[in-house]
Structure 1
């Protein structure tokens, strides 16, 4: 690393701008000089999403930061945007973007009918309201999103965030179909909402294959709905549809609590 100490500062900054946040932080530990260069706004501006300014303008709470590195760290902890209906964060190791779309942004079958759904606040949710299913015969949840929201050349996993209330019934009657559809491509799987299969703290390979709920670090549970590879650049924009629905018959059920759908980089 001695050779880097002999390079001009702007040359080192240019090199770091081509690496990842993880590499930049590791590089800064080599010497006090390199730590100073690695903390520059020039370096961290290139590691932030290209549309970062537009995103933070939509933040519910104004963000205060003294450097681009501080802003990066702040965004790793997630912020609420779009009137509090979405949560945005960047991945610490790569700078890739991720979102959680609240239940209020989703399309729920009979979602506006008080006989079928209750909208309420719960202390464990990051959003002001979640949706609790009272009773329904056919469950359909959909969301329409845009690829321009996502980081380019990134494989994303899409996850349904949920809980099962103590009063739940009928949720294990039949499996549900999950899908991620973009253009003429459709990623389809079968999942179950039966919470008794998801009591483990961490998912194992069997759980992931069978698409059953498992516990998240934030206390909620999630089911993987599918994957999407966003190969275009961030200027390209294409709509994709995410869904979870019953496709066989009608079965009375209730007690499902929906926080939202998360789209995050998958490794």
Structure 2
């Protein structure tokens, strides 16, 4: 390690750029020489997505940063809003892969008149959707695969809350599919008690996120480099025709697994 530390800073930076963001951050605490090399823009530019400049240029608010390392962690912990404020973008802090959340306004909701639009103090978006509807539920979010990081396994997550009183949400089916050619992957979601949503297909239970919302995995897919199509995430409930209420939807998030 001592011999490695005596290398020119530029050489250390090149070596660190082939590690991971978390490894580079750890090296910065070893010594002053390592800190200077691991904090360099050359290292962190490699960890940022190739099209990061184009992405942040479309942010609804200016994205200010002093260094590429600062920008990297800013995008990890402070998602930026795109597309008129209805989509958020962030990075997976482990590897710099892209994460997108489609806000409720970007989703296709069945019976739009049965959804009320309201601000929520803990939402990153200006409005969330709350359900009060007789009949079936369809919630669909879709994203172009070229928008996501290539050669990466992704999952879609429903980001939601359940109001203190909810009704008619006992069982729903989720589907992940590529629009063309079709490839479907489905699971069954069941609600058991307040804010307990469970997937019969994966055995996973809804979890509390760091931002205070709940999420549950809707399904997974692999985004290959040569893919150029759309992927859809659906939540469907058609078996219970009664009144449904209490589901508060913030959005659907696509992020690496």
Same fold (TM over 0.5): yes
Give the one of 193, 196, 214 matched to 2:194. Answer: 196
Q: Is the 8 A contact 1:27 1:35 kept in 2?
A: yes
Partner in structure 2 of residue 8 of structure 1: 8
Report deviation, 1:247: 4.1
Rounded Cα–Cα distance in structure 2 between residues aligned with 1:251 and 1:211: 27
1:98-135 alpha-carbon deviations (Å, 9 max, x no partner): 11110000000112x2xx11111111211101111122
TM-score by length of 2: 0.90
Partner in structure 2 of residue 244 of structure 1: 235
Partner in structure 2 of residue 178 of structure 1: 174
Structure 1 pair 208–25 and aligned structure 2 pair: CA distance change class (3 A): farther
Report deviation, 1:194: 4.0
Rounded Cα–Cα distance in structure 1 between residues aligned with 2:41 and 2:137: 48
Structure 1 pair 7–207 and aligned structure 2 pair: CA distance change class (3 A): farther
Partner in structure 2 of residue 257 of structure 1: 248
* Unaligned stretches of 5+ residues in structure 2: none
Q: How many residues align?
A: 254
Report deviation, 1:213: 3.3
Q: Secondary structure of 1:196's match?
A: coil
Which stretch of the first structure deviates more once superposed, 211-220 or 57-66? 211-220
Q: How does 1:74-223 map to 2 (within 5 A)?
A: 74-77=74-77, 78-111=79-112, 113=113, 116-172=114-170, 175-182=171-178, 183-196=181-194, 198=196, 209-223=202-216
Report deviation, 1:143: 1.2
Partner in structure 2 of residue 225 of structure 1: 218
Q: Secondary structure of 1:253's match?
A: strand
Q: How does 1:38-77 map to 2 (within 5 A)?
A: 38-77=38-77
Rounded Cα–Cα distance in structure 1 between residues aligned with 2:84 and 2:194: 35
Q: Is the 8 A contact 1:192 1:212 kept in 2?
A: no
Q: Is the 8 A contact 2:172 2:190 kept in 1?
A: yes
* Unaligned stretches of 5+ residues in structure 1: none
Cα RMSD (Å): 2.1
Pair 1:35 & 2:29 matched: no
Judging by fraction of residues, say which structure has more strand.
2
Q: Secondary structure of 2:143's match?
A: strand
Q: Is the 8 A contact 1:197 1:212 kept in 2?
A: no
Report deviation, 1:53: 0.5
Structure 1 pair 13–209 and aligned structure 2 pair: CA distance change class (3 A): same
Report deviation, 1:72: 0.8
Rounded Cα–Cα distance in structure 1 between residues aligned with 2:128 and 2:175: 22
